[in-house]
Amino acid sequence: MSTAQTEVPISNTDIVNQVEDLKITATEEPHHHRNHHIHHLLHKYNTSKDTENEDENVDQDSCCPRTPVTFGPSPTVGDTHGLARLLKNNRMWSRAIRERQPDFFEKGSKGQQPKVFWIGCSDSRVPENELLQLAPGEVFTHRNIANVVVSTDLNCLSVLQYAVEVLKVEQVVVCGHYGCGGVAAAMGDHSYGLIDHWLANIKEVKQQHQHNLETIKDEEERCRALVEINCRNSVLAVAKSPIMKSAWDRGQNVEIVGVVYDIQTGLLSELGYHVASMDDLSRHLRVDSNALFAARKDNAEALQQQS
């Protein structure tokens, strides 16, 4: 019999603190217009407790012509529904941002100009905007299990093409993370069903470096090494795509970098995988597995001596 987990509520203070961390600065806007937006959002989701101090004479729809639309015979969720908590958190987050910069969402609705395209893992513990301390609109994102990039994934390649050719990003960041469940699953021989097809991409990387991985006796450290090598493989897969070749051929300034995130410390580390041209790609492809693992060992020893 399962035991229900106690849900820890997110307070308004928590939301405000998160927004303040985004370094969004306040700008001037008529007070009554801000209240229009706040009242409208709170009213739409029927949070009477949150609207007690709002002006009851405000025209609820005058400032937001595009009101939420419901398709199908769906009942309004009650206070105990899981969605109610998410909607409440969203309203507090939106309100906190608009208190600091009233025109933030209005400006964002006119387009995006991110400098970074992030390819990361779907793991919920690796939220790119939060760990980079960047606001909405500053990171274009694609995530999948174990941050795998392969030439047959039209989803990932379509996002890459849009990021490079339309948004003109300057950095493609491939981020692996220690403690990755996908990488850990690929380390063994257990069958998981449909996901085995996806994990086969990581297993192929493991086989390419099997000899050097086996020299690492500690299982956790071996998994960390595969996380790093898997990230490198995705960096090279991005670099080998026709999308990047075309971008570099036309002189576009865009670099691919590999980083790893440590969920135990909250810190990012760069892995030394930088590709900004076809020449860079050729140099990386000439580095064999033995050289990679030798460099990894040297770096680890150097870090130990520093500490």
Which positions are annotated as active-site residues? 121, 123, 125, 177, 180
43: CB partners within 8 A, 6+ apart? 51, 60
CA of 206: how far to CAs of 211, 229, 295, in Å?
Answer: 9, 8, 18
Q: Is 177 annotated as a binding residue?
A: yes
3-state secondary structure of 194: coil
101: CB partners within 8 A, 6+ apart? 24, 25, 26, 27
Place of tokens 């939220």: 127
Give the separation between CA 265 and CA 254, rounded to whole angstroms: 29
Q: Is 103 annotated as a binding residue?
A: no
CA angle in degrees (0–180, nearest 5) for 7-177-235: 140
Burial of 100 (0-12, 13-18, 19+ CB in 10 A): middle
Give the separation between CA 204 and CA 147, rounded to whole angstroms: 15
Q: Is 50 annotated as a binding residue?
A: no
* Residue 279: half-sphere exposure toward Cβ, Cα within 13 Å: 0
C-beta atoms surrounding 209 within 10 Å: 20
Q: Is 180 annotated as a binding residue?
A: yes
- In terms of Cα–Cα distance, which of 228, 119, 133, 217 is closest to 180? 228
Residues of each annotated binding site for Zn(2+): 121, 123, 177, 180
> Binding site residues, as ranges?
121, 123, 177, 180
